[in-house]
Amino acid sequence: MGVKLAAMILAGGKGTRLLDLTRRVAKPAVSYGGKYRIIDFPLSNCANSGINNVGVLTQYESSELNSYVGNGEKWGLNGVRSLTSVLTPKQTEEGSNWYLGTADAIYQNLDWLDRVNPTHVLILSGDHIYSCTYNAMLKRHIDTDADCTISVYEVPIEEASRFGILVTDNKGIITDFVEKPKNPISNLASMGIYIFSYKRLRSALIKDHADPKSDHDFGKNIIPTMLKEKRRMVAYNYKGYWKDVGTVASLHTANMDLLMSGNPDENIYTVLAGNKIYSEDAHSAPQYIGKKAKVSDSLINQGATVLGEVKHSVISGGTLIEEGAVVVNSVVMNGAIIEKGAKVYDAIVGVDTLVGKDMVINKDKKDIVLFVNGKAAKK
């Protein structure tokens, strides 16, 4: 049998630091880039890599996310020899079980994986923004005869203590791994993207499940244990755009990265790196820019109606920016309405939010604010 790669996308996290954006919807379903939801990225990456068996593991506020993923049709993952499954916690003979950690989520779905019967399993996070294919990583995994390959990203050393940090030898074999170290000795951050040989992953998960002291987490338990057991662990150096948007400010920055100004080498086309990111089609009318509108340095989706001024901003579909309204350095999500005379500075305006007439959001322009359902979100 040849190589068969199945992907498991961990999409159960709450994303607490995104405040009100994730109060009623899981973080992977949060809107991004005027058109997308964050989970479009890993799912499109799978589609573009020719991975046809994808499990999406959801838990927190999952109904909107589950309906969105559906049978994978939006990403073309519903063809012959394809299977897209939303995998939620379930009742079994042993009782009902929430997912206790990332590793436990996969453990509880070993039956799904057994049916798919892959040679390798790709573990992904549902809330990272990056556009790539996993083919080169898989090749490295196979060429180096690895038990586990971890995708790594070079981060500035001063930020390294926020990540799981790896140490490698000169051949890229991982020699050490520390989760969020106080004094990092390397700047190679784990991206939370792993390829395992399925047999090895299966036995590691079963062993981890039996350990009552374990947190059942890949970063905290599975990876350190495999290293201790002297498994062959290999690093794969990822080059390109990659963002883990954990906070309102970082989600704002990731949106602004799509614009032309700022870093001249970075806009939506470099972020997408020549790949298509598939998403839901909103069946909206074309985007209309009005007679008195001013639009510059922005990214605007179909279905938006801009009659006012938009500068350095990302505007989703179904939005209305009325005449005399001003939106600067902001993200306006689906269905939001900015009424006459309103001014929005340095903000994220949430889905279906109304910014009333002459209202001014973030006058002081100190930090990025999140404005949802008529009020600024509390931190």
> Is 117 a binder of other proteins (CB under 8 A)?
no
Residues of span 257-286 touching other proteins by CB under 8 A: 258-261, 267-269, 272, 276-279, 281, 283-286
CA distances from 57 to 84, 108, 123 (A): 11, 10, 11
The string of DSSP letters for 133-148 reads -SHHHHHHHHHTT-SE
Q: How far is the CB of 2 from other proteins (least distance, A)?
A: 29
Task: Tell me the three state secondary structure of residue 376.
Answer: strand
- Report the 10 Å Cβ neighbour count for 30: 23
And the tokens for 46?
């799978």
Residue 330, classified by CB atoms within 10 Å of its CB into exposed (0-12), middle (13-18) or buried (19+), is: buried
Distance CA(323)–CA(314), nearest Å, equals 18
> Is 7 a binder of other proteins (CB under 8 A)?
no
Confirm if 38 and 11 have CB atoms less than 8 A apart.
Answer: no
Residues 131-150, mask of contacts with other proteins (x by CB under 8 A):
--------------------
- Of 293 and 359, which CB lies nearer to other proteins in the complex structure? 293
- Of 69 and 314, which CB lies nearer to other proteins in the complex structure? 314
Residues 206-245, mask of contacts with other proteins (x by CB under 8 A):
----------------------------------------
CA distances from 168 to 62, 142, 149, 183 (A): 37, 18, 12, 17
Window of 30-38, 96-104, 132-140, 356-364 that interacts with other proteins by CB under 8 A: 30-38
Could you say which of 33, 126, 184, 308 contacts other proteins (CB under 8 A)? 33
Could you say which of 295, 332, 344, 355 contacts other proteins (CB under 8 A)? 295
> Is 88 a binder of other proteins (CB under 8 A)?
no
Q: Which helix (H) or strand (E) holds 370?
A: strand 369-372
- Of 247 and 302, which CB lies nearer to other proteins in the complex structure? 302
Task: Give Rg (Cα) of the chain.
Answer: 22
Could you say which of 70, 181, 224, 290 contacts other proteins (CB under 8 A)? 290
> Is 42 a binder of other proteins (CB under 8 A)?
no
Q: Which residues sit at the interface with other proteins, rule CB under 8 A?
A: 33-35, 258-261, 267-269, 272, 276-279, 281, 283-302, 305, 307, 314-315
